[in-house]
Chain A
């Protein structure tokens, strides 16, 4: 059973517009969420995170929104740039000590100039 779901395998957005990447989770014990970005031939790199005590976290062009009642989070990138083209992974962890991260399948974002 997939606990972290990214239902859109790919997304295409024009440069300068907003990119919205979505993530749903099923485990109500998850209380910390992260987004990682991955370029081809490189490992994933940490982008932004959010704790369940918040509903929004912002870092420059990147904002993550958390809706706990819907078990849904989203990553907004504004404005989108061609260099943002990558695969984005949503990840979650539960408040059970050092429980490892559970990753989604990823969404490939293409930002078109």
Chain B
């Protein structure tokens, strides 16, 4: 089954404790992206990647890192999480054709205390 898999689905952590949210897709998509969803703000892009070893900042990249060492994986790294990073995170993938719809994972709900 074609899918985007995020782990974990839920995560509660404390301020400053490094964490990684994994994202993997099995559709051989070149394009991958991370979004955060917050009440009243919709989906905001954090980082995206057009291909292996190519990453770019989105609208809200501060406090986040990503890497794209393999085509299928695009982990989101929070080196020193803060409470304002409490949010619902979505990973997405798609073809490089911008008119190709994105496929989203089921989300990771992160709480930073």
Q: Which of A41, A45, A51 meets B104, CB within 8 Å?
A: A45
With contacts A103-B43, A104-B42 known, is A43 near B98, CB below 8 A?
A: no
CB-based nearest A residue for B99: A32
Question: Which of the four size classes fits the interface of chain B?
Answer: 20 to 34
In the complex, whether A98 has a CB less than 8 A from a CB of chain B is yes
Measured in the bound complex, the distance between the Cα atoms of B66 and A73 in whole Å is 34
Pair A43/B106 contact, Cβ less than 8 Å: yes
| B31 A98 Cβ-Cβ under 8 A | yes
Interface positions, chain B 80-113, Cβ under 8 Å from A, are: 90, 92, 96, 98-99, 101-107
Residues of chain B lying within 8 A (CB to CB) of residue A93: 98-99
Residues on B with beta carbons closer than 8 Å to the beta carbon of A106? 42-43
Whether B4 is near chain A, meaning CB under 8 Å from some CB there, is yes
Question: Which secondary structure dominates chain B's binding surface?
Answer: strand
Find out whether the CB atom of B90 lies under 8 angstroms from the CB atom of A43.
Answer: yes
Interface string of A27-49 (1 = CB under 8 A from B): 00000101010000111111001
A89 contacts chain B at the CB level, 8 A cutoff: yes
Interface residue? B74 (CB, 8 A): no
A39 to chain B, nearest CB (A): 10
| Nearest chain A CB to B21 CB, angstrom units | 13
A-B contact pairs, 22 of them (CB 8 A): A9-B40, A32-B98, A32-B99, A36-B102, A41-B106, A41-B107, A42-B106, A43-B106, A43-B107, A44-B43, A44-B90, A44-B104, A93-B98, A98-B31, A100-B33, A100-B48, A100-B98, A101-B98, A101-B102, A103-B42, A105-B42, A106-B42
